[in-house]
A and B are shown apart, each in its own frame.
Chain A
Amino acid sequence: GAVVSQHPSRVICKSGTSVKIECRSLDFQATTMFWYRQFPKQSLMLMATSNEGSKATYEQGVEKDKFLINHASLTLSTLTVTSAHPEDSSFYICSAQVTSGGGVGDEQFFGPGTRLTVL
């Protein structure tokens, strides 16, 4: 099956610093990548949808200036948490979609997640 990697798997940073998380599709090209956030005992919440070469579409309530998304190639998307604060501590998961042209229902393959802890 398709493999999606994330780096780093875990990061601890000081409040006020910025953190970059990479999401790569290793053996396929993904025109669309998604970024989710998962708090303990809660469901995955979609933060933004990223299409290669265009600006990301953010979900309501997600600050686009705080969570910068860059999708520069068909195999790489990055999420930068700027001026991180303790409340940003969470599990960030990306997914990459293999687009068959069928649109809705194309499977999303999830990365292993990045655990962010902001002190």
Chain B
Amino acid sequence: QKEVEQDPGPLSVPEGAIVSLNCTYSNSAFQYFMWYRQYSRKGPELLMYTYSSGNKEDGRFTAQVDKSSKYISLFIRDSQPSDSATYLCAMIAGGYQKVTFGTGTKLQVIP
């Protein structure tokens, strides 16, 4: 079983839709949770970072963490074609630097 599971998609939505991206994990030592956006043939770009259960909002993006269920989500409101990219969840266990990534979900927002 992988430490981090993420549906690879692809996920296609119309412009303006609310997008929900999810990851589950099995390692209860994970304490820090991130979402990265990766455009084709580019390096990942950090979108959101959180370490506690609950919601964290930044503009159109909301990161949600449920440690009891080992489940994290990223919501994108009013999705735009420029949001089309691969979104990777990532996690760090307490006391370590190593980042464990999900496989990424490819999102396409159709105008």
Chain A residues in the interface with B (C-beta under 8 A): 4, 6, 32, 34, 41-46, 49, 91, 93, 95, 97, 103-113, 115
Contact = CB atoms under 8 A, between A and B. Distances in A.
Contacts of A111: 43
Interface of B: 4, 6, 8, 31-32, 36, 41-46, 49, 51, 88, 92, 94-99, 101-104
Given A44-B99, A49-B97, A95-B43, 4 more contacts: A42-B103, A93-B43, A93-B44, A110-B44
B5 to A, nearest CB: 10
Given A97-B97, A104-B94, A104-B95, A44 B88 contact: yes
15 contacts: A4-B43, A32-B97, A34-B97, A43-B4, A43-B102, A44-B99, A44-B101, A97-B97, A104-B94, A104-B95, A105-B49, A105-B92, A106-B97, A110-B44, A112-B42
A9 B42 CA distance: 10
